Amino acid sequence: MRIALIGQPNSGKSTLFNQVAGYRSFSANFPGATVKYTVGKTYIEDELVEIVDLPGAYSISWYDDAEKEAIKALFSMNIDVIINIVDASTLIRSLELTWELISINKPMVMALNMMDEAKRKGIHINVNKLSEVLGIKIVPLIASKGKGVKELMVEAKRAQPPLKTNVYSREIEAEIHKVEECIEKHVKSVDMPVRTVAIKALEGFKSCLDMVLNTPCGDILKNARRKLKDGVEIERERHAGCMNIFEQCAKVSRIEKKATEDILDSVLMHPVFGYLFVILIFLTTFYIVFKGGSLFEGLIVSAFDSVNSYIESSIPFPLLSKVAGAVIGGVGAAMGIALPYLIPFFIIMSVLEDTGYLPRIAYLMDSIMHILGVHGTSVIPFVLGYGCSVPAVMATRTLRSKKEKVISAFLVTLIPCSARTVVIMGLVGYFMGPVYAILLYGLNLVVVAVLGASLKKFLPGISPEIMFDIPPYRMPTVKTVIIKTWYRLKDFIYLAVPLLIAGSVILALISYCKLDPYINSVFSPVIWGLLGLPVSLGIVLIFGVMKKELTLMMLYQALSLPTFSMVKDVMSPEQMMVFTVFVIFYVPCFATISALWKEVGIKNAIFITTGTLVLAIILSFLARVIFQIL
């Protein structure tokens, strides 16, 4: 048996899934799409069943990739039972999706979640009456506390199709029936329930409208749409019906005391103080992640360095010793450089997400982020990019538009991460002064803004305006935070670690075979001819793809200098600036490339990687020209 969980965003769907099958689940992609769904297995009355956690959707009419794949999954994944998760505290709005799901006519049960939140708002729901009106079984739930979960799964196993599928007035049902009857006769290969296609075509939903118009049913559909005012009557009746159901089945009592949520929002979403708190939250997050991460990084890296030295000294064969050291170094780079930062970051993000604060940040930052061609939801990846590009790219998975994901992923790879900051401060800041370092950060912001606006204009696809759903504040549970952290972490472990090891081995073989001079000669037309940098820096930039800090560590070694302080004797200020500009903008590290592959697909990962390389060459060449003019 396969059970699908579907509900509107912030209805507690993922919390329910984690309670049921969180520890025994895995992520997967929808066929032909990068949108994720999660699959888990659990036992219901000694029978093993599969639970599919679909992306949140407001309606069967999809308006972004996540909604599209969620709805398509209902019709293509052989779903046996639908569990519709409904937020009891926003019942009127939540019933809109329920109303549409009923037309699918699959076995269905409603999980009326957040009953405690509804009670806090003074909303009292007669569950039995609601079940009778809708014609489906309803189980009241507090998923965050596990209350009602067992009963819900038992009811899901026994679920029946809705008793009432004709939910509109007699006049509207008559028009739906005409179109539905014609579709059954004349339209082939319909991959959705015929009634759903008929309703959505009448409403003017493009995918269903195109499916029906150019068939013998076209005239019938046009006449029906004319009678129903292009589907407005259907939408109006659905909205009114949801309101009517609420009035029949629920009562709202007055709350005298001002809610804590209102008090918090008056401060956290204030047009002035709200931004101060956003800055404070981000600075605190940044401090915890990178101060704590740097502490563990030193311990872990030193441990791997010791193991690496022992392995290399114990193996008598030079090539085998080199490869073994590279493998250890690759694992050490993942465990020592990335994980100490990723783990606290994912924990903090899970807590902020579960408390309901992340949507509030997105709401506040939306107008500002529009300058960069994205929405307020992209602010978190951008800020995190100043620490590490890997979690910044992985944070783009929360974005709903594929176009916005690509734009945000591209732009965050250009943000100077902590490794690039090492180069900026350690080379330009140290030898040329802090003013030049600040100018580089200013240049970076200008480039990101211009490129963001350009990508928005020229990239295919749409990035529609979004409606921000501000959920109530909730207390996160330890179990949910741990599960979310693990889901996000294992993606990095499974993909990035193997790539880091492979890259480390390749670079070790290059060094062992003494191919450095040949590689430098290959890149000399760009490194020396175009940018005016010493030819020996070609291999440095290649190793920088492994780990950006290596570019600074290997700089003086590649120049055959005994100490780093002597770099100023070999490189001019112009060369230092050109080199640093190139490092800021060129190909992100292997870990970031693997994160791009995971989040936006291999084609977009190649596009972004190539784009950053071209951008770095152009900007560093312009830096050289400007320096020569000045």
Residue 178 has pLDDT above 80, yes or no: yes
Per-residue pLDDT of 478-505, as tens digits, reads: 877 887 778 767 766 776 677 667 766 8
Q: Residue 34 — pLDDT band, cuts 50, 70, 90?
A: very low
Locate all alpha helices (DSSP H) within 395-433, ordered by sequence. 402-412, 418-423, 430-432
- Read out DSSP for 36-80? EEEEEEEEETTEEEEEEEPPP-S-SS--SHHHHHHHHHHHHS---
Q: Residue 466 — pLDDT band, cuts 50, 70, 90?
A: low
| Predicted pLDDT at 260 | 73
Name 446's Cβ contacts closer than 8 Å, sequence gap at least 6: none
Continuous segment of H or E residues that includes residue 277: helix 273-314
Contact 389, 413 (CB under 8 A): yes
Distance CA 596, CA 589 (A): 11
Q: Residue 38 — pLDDT band, cuts 50, 70, 90?
A: confident
Instruction: Return the amino acid letter for 504.
Output: S
Task: Choose the weakest-confidence range: 15-19, 204-208, 463-467, 597-601.
Answer: 463-467
Phi, psi (deg, nearest 5) at residue 480: -65, -40
Distance CA 441, CA 621 (A): 18
Nearest to 401 by CA among 382, 373, 380, 364: 373
* Higher pLDDT pick, 341 / 457: 457
Percent of the chain exceeding pLDDT 90 equals 13
The position carrying tokens 């039972």 is: 81
CB-facing half-sphere around the CA of 5: CA atoms within 13 A: 33
Locate all alpha helices (DSSP H) within 525-601, ordered by sequence. 538-546, 549-558, 567-570, 573-585, 590-600
* Higher pLDDT pick, 237 / 557: 237
Which pair of tokens denotes residue 434? 């802090």
CB burial string 579-594: b at 16+ within 10 A, e below: bbbbbbbbbbbbbbbb
Distance CA 272, CA 364 (A): 10
| Predicted pLDDT at 621 | 94
Continuous segment of H or E residues that includes residue 434: helix 434-458
| Predicted pLDDT at 31 | 39
- What's the average model confidence in pLDDT over 575-600? 87
Q: 10 Å Cβ neighbour count for 452?
A: 23
Percent of the chain exceeding pLDDT 70 equals 86
Q: Residue 110 — pLDDT band, cuts 50, 70, 90?
A: very high
| Predicted pLDDT at 605 | 92
Residue 161 has pLDDT above 70, yes or no: yes
| Predicted pLDDT at 290 | 63
Identify the bridge partners of residue 252 per DSSP, sorted by sequence position. 123
- What's the average model confidence in pLDDT over 409-424? 83
Instruction: Return the amino acid letter for 321.
Output: S
Q: Residue 79 — pLDDT band, cuts 50, 70, 90?
A: confident
Contact 611, 410 (CB under 8 A): yes
- Alpha-carbon torsion 152, 156, 158, 161, what sign? positive
CB burial string 242-270: b at 16+ within 10 A, e below: beebbeebbeeeeeeeeeebeeebeebbe
Per-residue pLDDT of 359-400, as tens digits, reads: 787 777 776 777 666 767 677 788 777 767 887 887 787 676
* Lateral strand order in the sheet of 81-87: 25-29, 36-44, 47-53, 2-7, 81-87, 108-113, 137-140
- What's the average model confidence in pLDDT over 142-169? 85
Q: Residue 63 — pLDDT band, cuts 50, 70, 90?
A: low
Per-residue pLDDT of 530-553, as tens digits, reads: 999 988 888 878 777 766 666 766
Distance CA 151, CA 428 (A): 64
Which pair of tokens denotes residue 378? 């992209």
Nearest to 148 by CA among 198, 196, 86: 86
CA distances to 146, 165, 402, 513 from 480, rounded to whole Å, are: 11, 36, 27, 50
* Higher pLDDT pick, 618 / 46: 618
Residue 32 has pLDDT above 60, yes or no: no
Q: 10 Å Cβ neighbour count for 451?
A: 19
- Alpha-carbon torsion 426, 427, 432, 438, what sign? negative
Contact 267, 277 (CB under 8 A): yes
Instruction: Return the amino acid letter for 146.
Output: G
- Supply the DSSP symbol for 110: E
The SS3 of residue 2 is strand
| Predicted pLDDT at 136 | 92
| Predicted pLDDT at 400 | 65
Task: Choose the weakest-confidence range: 135-139, 331-335, 599-603, 609-613.
Answer: 331-335
The mean pLDDT value of the chain amounts to 80
- Read out DSSP for 436-458? HHHHHHHHHHHHHHHHHHHHHHH
Residue 581 has pLDDT above 80, yes or no: yes
Nearest to 457 by CA among 500, 407, 411, 497: 407
Q: Residue 65 — pLDDT band, cuts 50, 70, 90?
A: low
- Read out DSSP for 144-198? GGTBTHHHHHHHHHT----S----S-HHHHHHHHHHHHHHHHH-----S-HHHHH
Q: 10 Å Cβ neighbour count for 75?
A: 15
* Higher pLDDT pick, 216 / 326: 216
* Higher pLDDT pick, 35 / 194: 194
| Length in residues, the chain | 630
Contact 551, 597 (CB under 8 A): no
Domains of the chain: 2-157 (3.40.50.300), 170-252 (1.10.287)
Phi, psi (deg, nearest 5) at residue 29: -100, 145
